[in-house]
Structure 1
Amino acid sequence: MLSTTTNHHAWWQPQELAINACWHYRLGPLHVYVQRQAQQWLLAYEYNTEEKADPLFNNAVNMIPVHLTCQRYLFKQSPAIYQLLPQLLDRPIVVKTFQPVSLPPNEQTTFYISSPVSVRLTLKQPDIVLQDIIVQRLSDTWFGPSTQVGELCYADKTNARHTKAELPQRSYRAITPVTIHNNSSKMLSIDKISVPVPYLSLFALPDGNLWTNPITLKHEELEPLTHFRTGKLSASDAAGATLLSEPMLKSEKHNLFRAFADILTTRRGEHD
C-alpha cells in the first residue's frame, strides 16, 4: 500500500509503493502515473487543460492508461520508495501584468507572482533521479530590447496579485513576492515582469503552498537593467517552512537583471 500523507496537497512527500501497485497524480494540467513492478518502474504522463473543480489530487488506479507511452526503468530489484519533488525552472519566467501598471517616481509596490514548477521523479535508497517533468507547458520567449540583447525565458500567463489573500490554493505553482522600487524621477510603466527563478530557493509551507524567497527589483534613473536582490521569507511565512531546493544559480552582490519588458516615461499631464 502507498503510505499517504495527512495533507494531500503535500504531494512531494516520499511514498512507498507495493509491487504491481499504480498511482495517479493530477497537478493542475499535468497527470502523472507511476507503477512499480518487481524489476522495473513505469512512468507515463499527459497534459489536460480542462478546468477541474479540484486541480490537485492523487489516487490509486489499476493500471496506467493504455493510450499513454510508458518509460521503463529496469532494476534487479525495484526500489520501493519514491518521491515527486518540485523544482523551480531553469530560466526566468516572464509574466504579463493583467492590466497596465504604472509606478510613480520614488514609489514601491509588492506583487505576489506564481510560476509553475517541474516535477522530479526520484527513487530512494539509493537516490536515483528518473525524470523531470514541467507541470505546465510553457512557450519560449526572448526577453530584451532586440534580438541581440536579452535572454531566452519562459512565458507564463498569470495574475500579479497585490495581497496574499488573493492567492488561490495551487500547490503545483511557486509563489514569489516581488517588491519593485522606482528610484528614478520618471514614471515606470510595467507591461511584463521577468522573475529570476533560477536564483531562488523553493520552500514548502504547512498549508501545502510552495513559496520562494522574495526578491526586490530596483529601477534606477536611465538604467536599462534592474538591480535585484533576494531576501528571506517573512517571519509569518517562514513558520514551519521546509526547504525543498537551493538556487540553481548564485546571485552576485550587485546583480543586474533585465526585469521589465518596457520602461517608459510619461509626458507631463499624461495619465494611465
Structure 2
Amino acid sequence: MPNKQNEQCAWWLPQEVAINACRHYRLGPLHIYLQRQSQQWLLAHEYSTEEVLQVPCHAEVSMIPVHLTSQRYLINQSQASYQLLPRLMDRPVVVKTLQPVNLPPNEQTTLYISSPVTLSVMLKGPDLLLQNIAVQRLSDTWFGPSTQVGELCYADKTHARHAKTELSVRSHRAVTPVTVHNHSTQMLSIDKLSIPVPFLALYALPDGSLWTDPVTLSHEGLQALAHFRTGKLSAAEAIGATLLSEPIQKPEKHSLVRAFTDIFSD
C-alpha cells in the first residue's frame, strides 16, 4: 500500500483521477486546481499572499473555486492520468543576498542557493502539455555591466546558506550548490549571484527536496569572473536522486562568462 507521506513529498509523480474528480495542489504560494471531465480537463491557478507553507499539499476537493477562471482543454476521451512536472526557469535567476557575504583572499566556500521552479502540467497516455506555470512570480531584471552587454533574468532573494544542515525542505524551490574560489589578493564581496538555471539539470531527492547540478565560480581579481563551470551532484548528494529534467540549454563556451560578468566587486 503506498505511503501517504511519500506521496505528498513526491508530488511530481504521475497521478490518476476519476471522471468529475477535482484535485487541489498547494506548492509554496501557488494553488493549482485540476478537474477531469469525460471530454475535457479544467485547469485554474492563483497565488496566495498568505505565509508560504514549507510542505507541499494536495487533496481532492469538490470543485474549482468559483472566483477563478478555468482554462478548458477539450478532448474526445479524457485521459485518466496527469503529472505536475517541475522544471527550472527558462532564464537565469539573479539572487540578491539578504546579508553581505565576504570571502577573504585564497579562500573558498560553498553557498546553497535556491530558486523557484516552473510546473509543466501534463496529461499522460499520450503525453500532452497543457500549460507551464511558475510556482512563484518573479520580476524581470537586467544583469550585466551595461544596457548593451548582459541579459534579461529573473530577480529573487536568497539567504545564501553555507551549511546543508541550515537548509529547510521547500519542494517548490530547487537548491543549487555554488562553490566560489577567491584567487585574488583582495576581499571578495558577494552582493548578488546570477544562477544559470537553464544550463542545469534538475533532480528530486527522497526527502522531497529538489536539487540542481552544482556551479563553480573562480575569481581572479582582474575580471569579475575568470572561470566558470557546471558539474554533477556529488556521490553523497546523489544518493536516491531521480533526474526530473535535463538542462534546457547547452552551455556555449563564452556565453556563460558574459552572463556572470559583474557579479563581484572588490
1:264 aligns with 2:265: yes
Q: How big is the shift at 1:246?
A: 0.3
**Residues in 2 aligned to 1:69 and 1:154: alpha-carbon distance in whole angstroms:** 27
Q: How big is the shift at 1:226?
A: 4.5
Matches within 5 A, 1:232-251: 232-251=232-251
2:144 match: 144
Matches within 5 A, 1:39-118: 39-52=39-52, 55-118=55-118
1:120 match: 120
Number of paired residues?
263
**Residues in 1 aligned to 2:139 and 2:53: alpha-carbon distance in whole angstroms:** 26
**Residues in 1 aligned to 2:229 and 2:197: alpha-carbon distance in whole angstroms:** 12
1:6 aligns with 2:13: no
Q: If the length of structure 2 is used for normalisation, what is the TM-score?
A: 0.94
**2:18 match: secondary structure:** coil
**Residues in 2 aligned to 1:251 and 1:226: alpha-carbon distance in whole angstroms:** 16
| C-alpha spacing 1:184/1:46, structure 2 compared with 1 (3 Å) | same
Q: How big is the shift at 1:253?
A: 5.4
Q: How big is the shift at 1:54?
A: 5.4
Q: If the length of structure 1 is used for normalisation, what is the TM-score?
A: 0.92
Contact 2:17 2:36 in 1 (8 A): yes
2:215 match: 215
> Equivalent pairs: percent with the same residue?
67
**1:142 match: secondary structure:** strand
Contact 1:34 1:43 in 2 (8 A): yes
Is there any run of 5+ residues in structure 1 with no aligned partner, and where? 266-272
Q: CA RMSD in A?
A: 1.8
| C-alpha spacing 1:122/1:53, structure 2 compared with 1 (3 Å) | closer
1:162 match: 162
**2:9 match: secondary structure:** coil
Is there any run of 5+ residues in structure 2 with no aligned partner, and where? none
1:270 match: none
Q: How big is the shift at 1:188?
A: 1.5
Q: Which amino acid aligns with 1:42?
A: L
**Residues in 1 aligned to 2:6 and 2:252: alpha-carbon distance in whole angstroms:** 40
**Residues in 1 aligned to 2:94 and 2:79: alpha-carbon distance in whole angstroms:** 39
Contact 1:227 1:257 in 2 (8 A): no
Q: Which amino acid aligns with 1:58?
A: H
